[in-house]
């Protein structure tokens, strides 16, 4: 069931939404086209989702655009995705500026082609002072790799006496993740009917609400985001407490 904007409680909007944008290939296949066709037609879904989130007051939207495992896909598809990334960032920069959107990226960014790195860094630099909304692209991202890298970096600091083992806590771990400048995820959405996390933000979604929809990503629109947020708003977020404790603010 699709929810309209009027159904949403504007006083209970998730601060950080993450999306696993799944189904581009199946969408293209259903139309007798190659997978790249699905990726190109996913841009409308990205625009609508970002606009809807921003309009509702969501401060952070993180999109799983390209995983570390995606490098294993056919070279033609990978090259097309990297080219699409570059052309889209260039084309959308004026809109990012007009809408006061800050662009961010997480992942093993040095694995990206040099041209993609260059354009991505230029857009990040150009929008760094924008304050209304942060749109983060997860590129060459894998959560296990992120956590392993964090452990390695913390271990080096322990060896160099920069950090005491006893002082290591969730804040120190957070500060060594790709997402050090982002809050924890409140709502995780996955499209296309699959119900798994696929190595995405494993640490950051510890207390996130999960929403799975059968809609293929190229067909995802504002009303589907409203539906996910409506679902989120009708959950009881206890963070390990009991319902009674939540009711009494204990």
Q: What tens digit of pLDDT does each residue of 14-31 get? A: 999 999 999 999 999 999
- Active-site residue among 22, 41, 104, 186? 22
- Residue-wise pLDDT for 123-167, tens only, equals 999 999 999 999 999 999 999 999 999 999 999 999 999 999 999
The answer to the question of residue 179 being in a domain is no
Classify residue 167 by burial, with Cβ atoms within 10 Å: 0-12, 13-18, 19+: exposed
Instruction: Please say if the pLDDT value at position 243 is more than 90.
Output: no
Decide if 173 contacts 202 (C-beta within 8 A). Answer: no
Mean pLDDT of the chain: 94
Q: Is the pLDDT of residue 241 over 90?
A: no
Q: How confident is the model at residue 6 (pLDDT cuts 50, 70, 90)?
A: confident
Q: What is the mean pLDDT of residues 230-236?
A: 91
For the residues 237-245, what does the mean pLDDT come to?
58
| Full domain range(s) for residue 15 | 10-142+184-236
Number of domains in the chain: 1
**Catalytic residue check, 70:** yes
Is-catalytic flag, 149? no
Q: How far apart are CA 43 and CA 87, in angstroms?
A: 11
Query: How does pLDDT run across 46-88, given as a tens digit for each residue?
Result: 999 999 999 999 999 999 999 999 999 999 999 999 999 999 9
Q: Residue 246: what pLDDT?
A: 53
Instruction: Kindly state the average pLDDT of the residues 222-249.
Output: 78
Residues paired with residue 135 on neighbouring β-strands, in sequence order:
61, 103
Q: Does residue 83 lie within any of the structural domains?
A: yes
Confidence of residue 1 (pLDDT cuts 50, 70, 90): low
CATH of the domain at 210: 3.40.1180.10
Evaluate whether residue 213 is within a structural domain: yes
Is residue 188 assigned to a domain?
yes
Classify residue 62: in a domain, yes or no.
yes
What's the rounded Cα separation, in Å, for the pair 50 and 61?
A: 7
Tell me if the pTM is above 0.85: yes
Q: What is the pLDDT of residue 236?
A: 75
Q: Which of 9, 24, 41, 70 is catalytic?
A: 70
Q: State residue 61's pLDDT score.
A: 98
Residue 75 within a domain: yes
Looking at the chain, the whole-number percentage of residues with pLDDT higher than 70 is: 93
Residue 149 lies in a domain: no
Contact 225, 53 (CB under 8 A): yes
Closest among 231, 223, 192 to 51, alpha carbons compared: 223
Q: Which residue has the tokens 């662009």?
A: 103
In-domain check, residue 59: yes
pLDDT surpasses 90 at 180: yes
């Amino acid at each position: 069931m699709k929810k309209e904007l009027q159904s949403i409680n504007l006083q209970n909007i998730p601060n950080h939404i993450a999306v696993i944008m799944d189904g581009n290939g199946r969408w293209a296949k259903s139309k007798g086209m190659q997978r790249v066709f699905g990726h190109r037609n996913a841009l409308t879904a990205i625009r609508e989702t970002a606009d809807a989130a921003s309009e509702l007051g969501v401060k952070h939207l993180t999109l799983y655009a390209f995983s570390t495992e995606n490098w294993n896909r056919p070279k033609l598809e990978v090259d097309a995705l990297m080219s699409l990334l570059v052309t889209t960032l260039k084309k959308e920069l004026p809109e990012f500026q007009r809408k006061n959107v800050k662009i961010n990226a997480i992942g093993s960014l040095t694995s990206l082609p040099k041209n993609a790195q260059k354009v991505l860094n230029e857009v990040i630099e150009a929008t760094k002072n924008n304050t209304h909304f942060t749109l983060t692209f997860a590129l060459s991202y894998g959560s296990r790799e992120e956590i392993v890298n964090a452990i390695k970096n913390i271990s080096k600091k322990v060896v160099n006496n920069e950090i005491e083992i006893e002082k290591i806590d969730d804040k120190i771990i957070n500060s060594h993740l790709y997402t050090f400048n982002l809050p924890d995820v409140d709502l995780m959405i996955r499209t296309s009917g699959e119900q798994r996390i696929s190595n995405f933000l494993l640490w950051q979604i510890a207390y996130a609400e999960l929403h799975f929809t059968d809609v293929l990503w190229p067909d995802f629109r504002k009303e589907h985001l409203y539906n996910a947020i409506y679902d989120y708003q009708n959950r009881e977020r206890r963070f390990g407490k009991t319902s009674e404790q939540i009711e009494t603010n204990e």
